[in-house]
């Protein structure tokens, strides 16, 4: 009788572990994965916004799976690629965005706020970036 009980308890424990390990990593949003991010960028603050950017489903899935500063570095890469495709922006590279407060002050395990704003300089222009986080 004791062996049967032990087998049932071990089976239940194994199922619980399997269920927990199947959950996606929610590093960016604490225990709540984010459902979207709208990125608003302005060149030389006060000017017209550059074409807004929203993360695709695949990008959000990747972002939600990253831990620590990897999430900020991934967002920096997405922003740099977006700016590189815009006529107005000249040559913006990932290192310019990586040097911004986005990466320096990112807190992966912290509960995500609704909005993050920061500025960075690329060549002779200053860019103001606002991330609007949807939960």
15 within a domain of the structure (yes/no): no
pLDDT in tens, 82-92: 888 777 777 77
Using alpha carbons, list the distances in angstroms from residue 42 to 38, 60, 66, 91.
13, 22, 27, 15
86 within a domain of the structure (yes/no): yes
If one counts the domains in the chain, the total is 1
89 within a domain of the structure (yes/no): yes
Residue 42 has pLDDT above 80, yes or no: yes
Q: Using pLDDT thresholds of 50, 70 and 90, give the confidence band for residue 125.
A: confident
d(CA 79, CA 122): 12
Range of the domain at 75: 26-134
DSSP code per residue over 23-62: SPP--TTTTS---EEEEEEEETTTSPEEEEEE--HHHHHH
Mean pLDDT for 109-134 is 82
Residue 38 has pLDDT above 70, yes or no: yes
82 within a domain of the structure (yes/no): yes
Q: Using pLDDT thresholds of 50, 70 and 90, give the confidence band for residue 46.
A: low
Copy the structure tokens of residue 77: 């890469």
6 within a domain of the structure (yes/no): no
- State the pTM of this model: 0.66
104 within a domain of the structure (yes/no): yes
20 within a domain of the structure (yes/no): no
54 within a domain of the structure (yes/no): yes
């Amino acid at each position: 009788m004791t062996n049967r009980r032990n087998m049932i308890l071990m089976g239940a424990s194994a199922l619980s572990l399997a269920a927990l390990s199947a959950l996606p990593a929610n590093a960016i949003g604490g225990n709540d994965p984010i459902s979207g991010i709208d990125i608003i960028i302005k060149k030389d603050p006060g000017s017209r916004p550059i074409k807004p950017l929203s993360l695709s489903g695949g990008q959000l899935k990747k972002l939600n799976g990253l831990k620590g500063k990897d999430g900020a570095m991934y967002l920096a890469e997405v922003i740099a690629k977006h700016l590189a495709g815009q006529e107005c922006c000249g040559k913006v590279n990932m290192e310019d965005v990586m040097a911004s407060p986005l990466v320096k002050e990112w807190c992966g395990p912290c509960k995500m706020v609704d909005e993050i704003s920061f500025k960075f300089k690329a060549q002779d222009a200053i860019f103001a970036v606002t991330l609007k986080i949807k939960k």
